[in-house]
Structure 1
């Protein structure tokens, strides 16, 4: 299986090859500059290395890892022992590499930066997905991503089992407080959005139950109930599920969501929960790439 092909076990779409190439080009340029002064001290001979995961994680970022190493050594052989999206235990050897010693060392940091960051995102998402399993609620990301890595992080969200919200400001219309204030009402804002961009999905944020009723009556693709307390949230679900609306428009919760309270929110019957922390509060997974043969005691 190539680095960009999803396994049958994890049927998520691969990242765009052009995005991976551009990300890797920037990363290598900022790290290598006009050349790796330290790697030049090594003999330029064939060598091997192994990639070790030091904590439990969901693996994500293989395409970026591979591209970093192949950019410096097109003949490098990377033998992955795990698939993209696999859950692995601490101590797992993820892959072995065979290539030129200087290239292996020069690509090390950039390749690990991608893999540890994207694995960190996927691992966090998987924990949130696990927390709501069986409720019917979906975990969504937001636009609170690391600058320049939005497509990569949103790919990692999918690998972790989450669902992408809008990618940017261009692929959906999202009406918020300022739009409603400027246009006079939720209904007026919805009509203006439909007239201006009829082919884009329309998401409407509401702050009160009256605004919720207005959005339901006017129609849209999803309603965001932002910062509702638990009783108001449950009443919002009741209203949206009752006639004449009968659950035709999904409800999304955002704001003040953490892992501890996630199950209770999902159990109220909402359809989606969007969480900015999935991509904003990234904690990288502890990985290392070491020259030499992989230790036999490591799990794989």
Structure 2
């Protein structure tokens, strides 16, 4: 696999901590980890390896570390393979050492976040590799798990993809129902321009070349070419002629994405990156015997 095509920002610590605390509260409930508490001494310590069972792209280390540190602030979390980097089957991603109870109780939360995010990053990298050598960027959508969008979009970046708008608040995207509600494409665009701030980009969805001709009478930032075959996409790119960015959407999979990219579009949005990515199989294994903490001298 190739390296990521773009850099990616780190996740904000407050988002990470809030998500991890919610997940731990869900898992530990009112009584805590009753299995671990019954079988492991309170002061027992151990070292464990977080490893990949299958090859993929790493993503989500900040959440895994936060999960372990939330239950054991003195836990040592040593990263062996950074986010955005390929890991082979059996490869060690991180080493964790600290309180054995804390490591066991945080294990599932850490693996759930990382498995999901590594899966998204891995699938994204497959799409990015599939369009290598073309001008097309692979971008995500808003088809994300409620409450986890920031992490899933981060995982897309780890895989070498790019982010579309984050939500309904940071860009105008006029779709078919907006056009119907506004009374037509031109009316919708004019209304958007009248209310959007000077820093807000405007994108319009079209599903025919006739609609595209109408849209090109107006100055916009991007046009979304919905469910067009590659031959039609090539005609659309010619009509646009560089006057705005072009985005292809609909009918995109690993079998079709190369032909879509060859049409000359600037971006290809893929909902599957976040709504259908298989979880990457990860595991956590103790590598040292569980032992009690050494007695402290008075």
Q: Judge same fold: TM > 0.5, yes or no.
A: yes
Q: CA–CA distance in 1 between the matches of 2:132 and 2:285?
A: 37
Matched, 1:290 2:282: no
Judge conservation of contact 1:10–1:84 (CA < 8 Å) in 2: no
Matched, 1:270 2:265: yes
Unpaired stretches in structure 2, ≥5 consecutive residues = 290-298
Alignment equivalent of 2:248, drawn from 253, 260, 267: 253
Q: Residues 262, 49 of structure 1: CA spacing in aligned structure 2 closer, same or farther, 3 A cutoff? A: same
Judge conservation of contact 1:51–1:96 (CA < 8 Å) in 2: yes
Q: CA–CA distance in 2 between the matches of 1:171 and 1:43?
A: 50
Measured after TM superposition, the shift of residue 80 of structure 1 is 1.2
Judge conservation of contact 1:50–1:293 (CA < 8 Å) in 2: no
Aligned to 1:18: 14
Aligned to 1:232: 232
Measured after TM superposition, the shift of residue 10 of structure 1 is 7.0
Q: CA–CA distance in 1 between the matches of 2:195 and 2:117?
A: 36
Measured after TM superposition, the shift of residue 185 of structure 1 is 2.1
Q: CA–CA distance in 2 between the matches of 1:9 and 1:146?
A: 25
Q: CA–CA distance in 2 between the matches of 1:278 and 1:11?
A: 18
Unpaired stretches in structure 1, ≥5 consecutive residues = 1-7, 242-246, 295-300
Measured after TM superposition, the shift of residue 197 of structure 1 is 1.4
Q: CA–CA distance in 1 between the matches of 2:257 and 2:277?
A: 18
List 4+ stretches of structure 1 deviating above 4 A.
none
Q: CA–CA distance in 1 between the matches of 2:21 and 2:209?
A: 49
Aligned to 1:30: 26
Aligned to 2:191: 192
Q: Residues 9, 96 of structure 1: CA spacing in aligned structure 2 closer, same or farther, 3 A cutoff? A: farther
Aligned to 2:129: 130
Q: CA–CA distance in 1 between the matches of 2:105 and 2:70?
A: 11
Aligned to 1:141: 140
Task: Give the TM-score taking structure 2 as reference length.
Answer: 0.92
The one-character-per-residue Cα deviations of 1:208-260 (angstroms, maximum 9, x if unpaired) are 1121122122011110010112322111111112xxxxx02011000111111
Judge conservation of contact 1:140–1:272 (CA < 8 Å) in 2: yes
Let me know the Cα RMSD of the aligned residues. Answer: 1.6
Q: Residues 190, 9 of structure 1: CA spacing in aligned structure 2 closer, same or farther, 3 A cutoff? A: closer
Q: CA–CA distance in 2 between the matches of 1:266 and 1:9?
A: 16
Give 3-state SS (helix, strand or coil) of 1:217's partner.
coil
Give 3-state SS (helix, strand or coil) of 1:223's partner.
strand
Judge conservation of contact 1:61–1:114 (CA < 8 Å) in 2: yes
Judge conservation of contact 2:231–2:263 (CA < 8 Å) in 1: no
Measured after TM superposition, the shift of residue 293 of structure 1 is 4.1
Give matches, 1:66-77, under 5 Å: 66-77=65-76
